[in-house]
Amino acid sequence: MNLAVIGTGNIGLVTALCFAHKGHTVFCADIDHKKIANLQKGIAPVFEPSLHDLLQAQLCKNSIRFSISAKEAVQDAEVAFVTLGTPNTTAGLPDISAIEQFLTQLPNLNPHLRKVVIRSTVPPGTNLQLTAKFPGLHLIASPEFLREGSAIQDCLYPERVIVGSDSAADLNLFREIYMSFGLHDDQFLFMDPTSAEFSKYAANIFLASRISLMNEFSRICASTGADIKKIQQVLSTDRRIGSYFLDAGIGYGGSCFPKDIQAFINYARGINEDASITQAIQNSNTNQLERYYKLIISNLPEAHEKVLAIWGLSFKPETDDVRESVSLKLVEKLRYHYRLQLYDPKANTHAADLYRDTKTISISDCAEAALTGASALLICTDWSEFKNYDLFKMKSLLKYPVVFDGRHIYDPAHMRDLGFTYHTVGRH
Ligand code: UDX
């Protein structure tokens, strides 16, 4: 099929490339001239495993094209997928103006194209609202569940595809679009658009609730002498709970959880409904960051010649994305107490842009440089490079063998046997 993808952010680009990989002809549009120019040259705008290779392969096959012109992108399209950003407004609700702008223009761009799939994360009820505003269009709500760092895998092998529509014919449309994805029929979840939109928030909030609960348990473990990893082991061996998203740490970040959770809280408040559990999830995440900040300040006496090495700036491993990264939130609090030597395997460039003129912050081009001369090391992102690091080398490079492990990547007893002073929340 000829598909248009409007918006080439992380989700839009991965979605477009996977559709092209699966045999569709895809035309993408984005207003970011530089991004489009780079994509046309095969340069990916973000680090995402396999993204570069998939982009090169689709360009070679001529199965994907990029333009700043939405008119070009929709010219021959049978369906348009909207993956435009919906950042929270100052009122804390998703801004859907970019989507509305596209829908307003569409009849003039291609009067024959009516079917539009809204893949962006939008508040429940948006499809109904936009359908009333644009009666000439047929809008389908189909949120995605891609994780940065595994987005291509998640896109090629989706656990489910949501078809949020009042027309059962759209189920056949999605079966056609996803024909070569090898999905079982029961993986297409057909429902009303509002439930589809709601399900995106529900999934993210539920996942974040597991993290925030484990973080709350870890804080209480710190005061009781219990070991959060042992508790995780007990929980993960209960098939009703499962083993995913039970890693306590310094908290969740990223472009989705924080934004979606805040939006949902505000959305519920706007309809006079209680979202106190969702609010508690957000509060626990904030408390976790504060707890690690206090752990550092209380165990690393403040002195301006003190240097703190920080490993991990991206909000999670296998991405260079620093949006809402808890690492950078800690950097913002610690920069006034210490000189900071930052390192991340993929996010250094973004960090350099942020801290270019900051005297107390330096970006190290390797893990060793960040360690050299530091009074302590703080681990904020659980990159494999850090998990597998030579601890004898670490000890030799640090001025003092002090480690604050924000992601529980090392074993406390082993670290102490090696002569480290090891700090974390919830292990002893
Ligand atoms: C999330 C959802 O998982 C995905 O389905 C949705 O489409 C987009 O939002 P993403 O934000 O890319 O994906 O990353 P995710 O793997 O969910 O991690 C989010 C944050 O939670 C990261 O900061 C990560 O470090 C943290 N996390 C994750 C934990 O602290 N503990 C865990 O056990 C898992």
pLDDT exceeds 90 at position 71:
yes
Give the atom of ligand 1 at the shortest distance from the alpha carbon of 11.
7
pLDDT exceeds 90 at position 301:
no
pLDDT exceeds 70 at position 20:
yes
Candidates 47, 147, 213: which one to mutate for ligand 1, based on the most atoms within 8 Å of Cβ?
Answer: 147
DSSP alpha helices (H): ranges in 22-147?
A: 33-40, 51-61, 70-74, 97-109, 126-133
pLDDT exceeds 70 at position 305:
no
Give me the amino acid identity at 261: I
pLDDT exceeds 70 at position 94:
yes
pLDDT at 209: 98
Phi-psi region of 102 (alpha: psi -120 to 50; beta: other; left: phi over 0): alpha
Q: Which two tokens stand for residue 130?
A: 């936009």
- Annotated active-site residue 155? The verdict is no
Å from CA of 207 to ligand 1 middle: 8
Å from CA of 392 to ligand 1 middle: 31
Where does the pLDDT of residue 357 fall: very low under 50, low under 70, confident under 90, or very high at 90 and above? confident
pLDDT exceeds 90 at position 417:
yes
Give the atom of ligand 1 at the shortest distance from the alpha carbon of 149.
12
Å from CA of 150 to ligand 1 middle: 11
Give tens-digit pLDDT for 96-152.
999 999 999 999 999 999 999 999 999 999 999 999 999 999 999 999 999 999 999
In the chain, % of residues over pLDDT 70: 99
Task: Enter the pTM of the model.
Answer: 0.96
Q: Which of 28, 221, 256, 380 is catalytic?
A: 256
Strands 188-191 and 161-164: parallel
Report, as an integer, the average pLDDT of 392-396. Answer: 98
Is the CB of 148 inside a 6 Å radius of any atom of ligand 1?
Answer: yes
- Residue 65: in which H helix or E strand, if any? strand 64-67
Hey, which bits of 111-201 come out as E strands? 115-118, 138-141, 161-164, 188-191
Closest of 61, 38, 48 to residue 14, by C-alpha? 48
Is the CB of 208 inside a 6 Å radius of any atom of ligand 1?
Answer: no
**Residues 342-360: b if buried by 16+ CB within 10 A, e if exposed:** bbbbbbbebbeebbeeeee
CA distance 362 to 216: 32
Contacts of 264 (CB under 8 A, 6+ apart): 201, 205, 275, 278
Q: How far apart are the first and last CA of the chain?
A: 57
CA distance 238 to 255: 30
Taking each helix axis from N to C end, the angle separating 276-299 and 193-224, rounded to the nearest 10 degrees, works out to: 40
Is the CB of 201 inside a 6 Å radius of any atom of ligand 1?
Answer: no
pLDDT exceeds 90 at position 302:
no
| Mean pLDDT, all residues of the chain | 97
pLDDT at 67: 98
Specify the range with the lowest mean pLDDT, choosing from 2-6, 207-211, 246-250, 297-301: 297-301
Report, as an integer, the average pLDDT of 168-191. Answer: 97
Task: Please report, for the chain, how many H helices and E strands are present, in that order.
Answer: 18, 14
CA distance 172 to 185: 10
pLDDT exceeds 60 at position 242:
yes
Closest of 337, 271, 328 to residue 299, by C-alpha? 337
Give the atom of ligand 1 at the shortest distance from the alpha carbon of 150.
12
